[in-house]
Structure 1
Amino acid sequence: MNQDRLTSTDADAVTDAAAQWCMRLHTEDFSDAEREAFAQWLAANAQHAEEYQAMLEIWQTADLLPRSPATTRQAPTGRVRRRAWRPAASAAMISVLALPLAAWIGWELGWLPNRYQHFDSSDQVRAVQLADGSNVELNLHSEVRFLNFKDRRRVDLVKGEAFFDVSHDSQHPFIVHAGRGQIRVTGTQFNVWKYQDQVKVTLVEGSVLVSSDGSDGGYRLGPGMQASYRTGDFEPQLAQSDDYANSLAWRSGRMVLDNLSLSQALPVINRYLDKPLMLADNNVGSIRISGIYDTRDVRQLVDNLPKVLPIYLTRSNDGSTVLNRILPSPHKR
């Protein structure tokens, strides 16, 4: 533990931090991760605990905080010296008290959300409901964030794949950010798949407006249409798909590869692997593959590829599996 005394500038920073922790500890959404971070902050320097206790007394004396169980659990151990109100503490308190006003102004101007949610999934499909009533299904190893603003609803697809059944609200568009583009709706059903910088949007019901990296205004999809884009695309590629249900097969634990080249199939397969498959060259990438596979056992598909395709597997230096094409034997004369 660092017991060195702090400079005046550092002491003011500690006072500010103590005020911020005092406020966060008394909110309902104070997380276990934040609790651990707070404990580490307390242990970093004896003056942290001292300043926090002084700030806690100020808040409670002014009836600014309830004497909640969270405060009792996180109260610093050991004897803490009582200190009088200092100018730095006063300034920090004024700053903290101004936060609700700043948050309200930020909300009114559309800068800050009033609700934030974070969801992820690991080895199974997960269904969640957003604060606006919209329902989302997350594919394996997927992650989304939801922010509710005064004039819009925003979702960030951090990674993976999600199916959205959006609660209709024409006054508050629902905007999904995926890669370097976005999907804008008011109420509909659609699927968004993201792998590295590639994104594919599949519309099931209603309509959506898809914008890629450089597109201006976006392109509207109808039911059964798909839009694909990646970083740097000026506009998304649009397609009408009669078998778009293949893109939704993951909801029942299936991955459908319908006569795809390996170049097309690998981004779909790699979504379910710890280390991605790699192509030795463009020649092997042209080989086509079909089949229906279990999304929870894609590794078995990889192991069986040499049994169904003219390829053999090798390992790269980083441990990734490389697909190599078996060349036909030359004709004997």
Structure 2
Amino acid sequence: MTDHTLSQAEYDAITDAAAHWCMRLHATDCTAEERLAFEQWRDAHPLHAFEYEAMLDIWDVAGDLPHPESAVSVRVKPAMPWRTFGIAATVCALALPLAAYTGWNLGWLPNAYQHFEATDNVRQVTLSDGSQVELNLGSELTFSNYKDQRRVTLKKGEAFFSVSHDTQHPFIVKAADGRIRVTGTQFNVWMYEDQVRVNLIEGSVLVTSNDAESGEGLRLEPATQARYRHGDFTPQISQTSANDHSLAWRSGKLVLDDLTLTDALPLINRYLNKPVMIADHSTGSIRLGGIYNIKELNSLVASLPKVLPVYLTRNKDGNPVLNSIPQQPPKS
């Protein structure tokens, strides 16, 4: 393909091809020859790769489609699961305005989709519903506006939400296995691996730790927080202490208030390419405090042996490992 300005027809053809490859590569019967043909197509022009990545985002969003029994009866071949059918329909709808309009009315497809990332700086973004979101370093989320709800998926990191009030369209944040449901409020969601912490600042939210469980979840009130991780049946609810510093990241700081290394390292590791490991329980019980710049946490790791009774090693994967220095027995 040459570098001339693409016509609308050429651009539409690339979009259609990207949708085709997205469906084929997710199909169980996709062959090695097809995968090779896809790689050749993707590498033929930078726009091919760009459009394919956009299709992958849409594919992820479509994974949350409701089961058709909740909206309308759809006849699907038994060999084709509903999730695969729904995702394929969503991708195809990109090139079919009528199908997209029908999908919106049925509550299957969003009429707005946004993807945001924050890499080296805190980032403030505005969602299409008017809600404001502040993203911490290394954070990523998507927003989809459906007819009956607004849906955010926090893929990684941390975000502070100021949600536009709309009682008719609940605002739902998916984080790990759980979800946070609101209509208009301010709250913070921190996620690292399968750990999630929700801090409510204003209003109220409903928190579940397992999206597959029925029910609305547990209600948070201002100055309370919920914690959960993979496998938890219900979130743990607690009061937020008067000296809580969980929102210090908005000022570029990480405040560790005399925490054990077991509790401090998930807060630190969220910012690191190579997470720090703990050698044993005795090392994890060592306490750490201080105020740190979130952009300089890599240097903190190297300095820990200077302020704590620990030394650093590396495991087979190259991760730094903290080891406690054995205390010398007193001389008799």
So what's the TM-score if we normalise by structure 2?
0.72
Instruction: Assess if the C-alpha contact under 8 Å between 1:20 and 1:96 holds in 2.
Output: no
Number of aligned positions between the proteins: 256
Instruction: Assess if the C-alpha contact under 8 Å between 2:189 and 2:197 holds in 1.
Output: yes
Instruction: Assess if the C-alpha contact under 8 Å between 2:94 and 2:100 holds in 1.
Output: no
Identify the residue that residue 328 of structure 1 maps to in structure 2: 327
Report the secondary structure of 1:131's partner residue.
coil
Identify the residue that residue 254 of structure 2 maps to in structure 1: 255
Q: Structure 2 stretches of 5 or more lacking a match?
A: 2-8, 17-36, 45-91
Identify the residue that residue 116 of structure 2 maps to in structure 1: 119
* CA distance in 2: counterparts of 1:175 and 1:165, whole angstroms: 13
Identify the residue that residue 22 of structure 1 maps to in structure 2: 13
Instruction: Assess if the C-alpha contact under 8 Å between 1:142 and 1:161 holds in 2.
Output: yes
Identify the residue that residue 192 of structure 2 maps to in structure 1: 195
Identify the residue that residue 235 of structure 2 maps to in structure 1: 236
Cα deviation code 1:249-303 (max 9, x no counterpart): 0000000111211101111000111100000011100111111100000012112
* CA distance in 2: counterparts of 1:330 and 1:245, whole angstroms: 38
Matched, 1:271 2:270: yes
Q: Which has the larger radius of gyration?
A: 1
Cα deviation code 1:165-213 (max 9, x no counterpart): 0000000000000000000000000000000000000000000000111
Distance 1:239 1:43, change over 3 A: closer
Matched, 1:41 2:41: yes
Amino acid at match of 1:131: S
Cα deviation code 1:126-159 (max 9, x no counterpart): 0000000000000001001000000000000000
Identify the residue that residue 208 of structure 1 maps to in structure 2: 205
So what's the TM-score if we normalise by structure 1?
0.72
Matched, 1:135 2:132: yes
Distance 1:97 1:137, change over 3 A: closer
Alpha carbon RMSD of aligned pairs, Å? 2.6
Distance 1:171 1:243, change over 3 A: same
Which residue of 150, 157, 176 maps to 1:160?
157
Identity %: 61
Identify the residue that residue 102 of structure 1 maps to in structure 2: 99
* CA distance in 1: counterparts of 2:283 and 2:311, whole angstroms: 10
Identify the residue that residue 309 of structure 1 maps to in structure 2: 308
Which residue of 167, 170, 175 maps to 1:173?
170
Runs (4+) of structure 1 exceeding 4 A deviation are: 37-40, 95-98
Instruction: Assess if the C-alpha contact under 8 Å between 1:313 and 1:324 holds in 2.
Output: yes
* CA distance in 2: counterparts of 1:236 and 1:116, whole angstroms: 29
Q: Structure 1 stretches of 5 or more lacking a match?
A: 2-17, 26-36, 45-94
* CA distance in 2: counterparts of 1:101 and 1:329, whole angstroms: 76
Identify the residue that residue 184 of structure 1 maps to in structure 2: 181
Comparing 215-224 and 109-118, the one that deviates more: 215-224
* CA distance in 1: counterparts of 2:216 and 2:196, whole angstroms: 18
